[in-house]
Structure formats: C-alpha cells, structure tokens
Amino acid sequence: MDDLRIDWLRNRVYDALDVHQKDAFQELLTRDNGNAELMITEYLDEITEDTHRPLIFYKLVLEREEDVEVEYGT
C-alpha cells in the first residue's frame, strides 16, 4: 500500500477488532476488484471539518460445527 493513511487505518482496525490475520485487511481492499479500497480512499479524501460521516469496521465470529470420524477399537 502506498497510502500511509490506509496503513494507519489498518493498524487501528486490527487493534480495535483484535485481528491477528495479517492478510485480512488486504483481502478487504481487493474485494470487488479493488472497489473497497477505492471507497475507503474516497472517504479519506473527502474528510473536512464539516464532514461527520462514520467509517465502520466490524468482524463476525462464526462457530463452525464439523463432523469427524474417529476409529475406535478394542
């Protein structure tokens, strides 16, 4: 990433959401052919003292149930 604002934002999001996957933010930025990165950059470019629009990041934690066959013999 060439934009230091996005690097700074990534670090804040990782800290706030307790994210440990290093590629998670990069995956977000490349989503929809880079549309997410474009939207974030446009958001950062439009910020002025009169602008009061939030930028919200969140994570979903899902439990996954998995069936595992285990051989049991006596």
Q: What are the boundaries of each domain within the chain? A: 1-64
Q: How many CB atoms lie within 10 A of CB 61?
A: 4
Query: In angstroms, rounded to a whole number, what is the distance separating the alpha carbons of residues 39 and 5?
Result: 13
What is the pLDDT at residue 46?
A: 83
- Provide the pLDDT for residue 7: 93
Q: Show pLDDT as tens, one digit a residue, over the chain (74 residues).
A: 588 999 999 999 999 999 988 899 999 999 899 999 999 998 888 877 777 788 889 888 899 999 999 998 86
67 burial class (0-12, 13-18, 19+ CB within 10 angstroms)? exposed
| Number of CB atoms found within 10 A of residue 66's CB | 4
The pTM of this model reads: 0.69
